[in-house]
Structure formats: structure tokens, C-alpha cells
Structure 1
């Protein structure tokens, strides 16, 4: 007896959309820093979509003691999008401020 699992279903329903959400979140780095609402709207929407995917995977998968591979994948995707959200909200304005303080010293 040979048992087979249809892995294409998991690839199309979970792995591909979550990976594409991470790629779409990286587009926010190409949006000019002056357009804050557009960047934040894109990143928050991607973050919420990934949390929704994670909730649906958790509800449909059997209970296990640790993390499954698909749960680990989606958690890493959520962390990438959250990192982009933090970078766009704190790192860029702080870097801009520090650059201007060093480059244009007050005399």
C-alpha cells in the first residue's frame, strides 16, 4: 500500500499566497517616504491577511505538540511583514533625522 498526500493543495492555498504577501510588503520600500498612509495601509493590510491565513491553517490542521512546517512558514512570513512595518515606521524617519543632524550640523 502506498500513501500519497496531495501537496499541491497546500502549496497553492497557503505557501504561495503567504510568500506573495511578503513580496508585496517589500514593495513598500520603493514607495517614497513622504507617502506614509500608502505605505502603512499596504503593510497593515498584508499583516492582517497573513494573520488570517495563519488562523485558517491553525483551524484546519490537526493538533500537534509543536509547530508544523506550514505554521513555521507563516509565522516567519508574519515576522517579515512586521519587520517591514517597523522599518517603515521607525527606522527610516530615525535614520533621516540622524543623517541630517550629522550632515547639517547646527552652528
Structure 2
């Protein structure tokens, strides 16, 4: 299945909704910016909804592409939507692809 990012919209301070088209199904996943303390330093990161991580768990290449577009949007870079980010792989397809690269 082809995956496209249809839009990235602010839903509040440091919060965004990412609208995706997965095959023929439209879905929206929330993301948020969080500050985390590690030792004596503060690090800012973007977190995704647990449902997003579960749905794309065998598709790390898509998580990377979607997150990269979100960061571009947060940095006010111009993005022309929709953006194709790749093909959704089932568990079997992802396992086969992994075996081929080993």
C-alpha cells in the first residue's frame, strides 16, 4: 500500500496532527513536542501517538519519512502536499526484505 502525507496542521502549542492516506484509508495521528531532562541537560523531542508507533512498527522507513516532514513543517519549511513517503509493508514483507539485505 502506498502511504502519503496529506497535511500537517498545528493543533495547539507544540502539538500537530499529521493526516495520512494509507492505501485508500485516511487517518490522523497526533504528535507533540516534549522537553526531557537527561542528567543536567534538557533535550527537546517529538513524540508520536502509541497507535501510530504500533501501526507502523514494521515500517521504520515510513516513520522516519513522516517525522522528517513534521520537523520540516515545525521549522516553517514549505512543503507541497500530498507527499508520497513509501510503501506500507506487512510483517511478512518486512521480514522478507530484511532477509534479502543480510
Normalized per residue, the structure richer in strand is 2
Q: Under TM normalisation by the shorter chain, which class is it?
A: 0.3 to 0.5
Higher helix share: 1
Q: Which of structures 1 and 2 has the larger relative contact order (alpha carbons within 8 angstroms, sep 6+)? A: 1
Higher-Rg structure is 1
Normalization by structure 1: what TM-score?
0.33
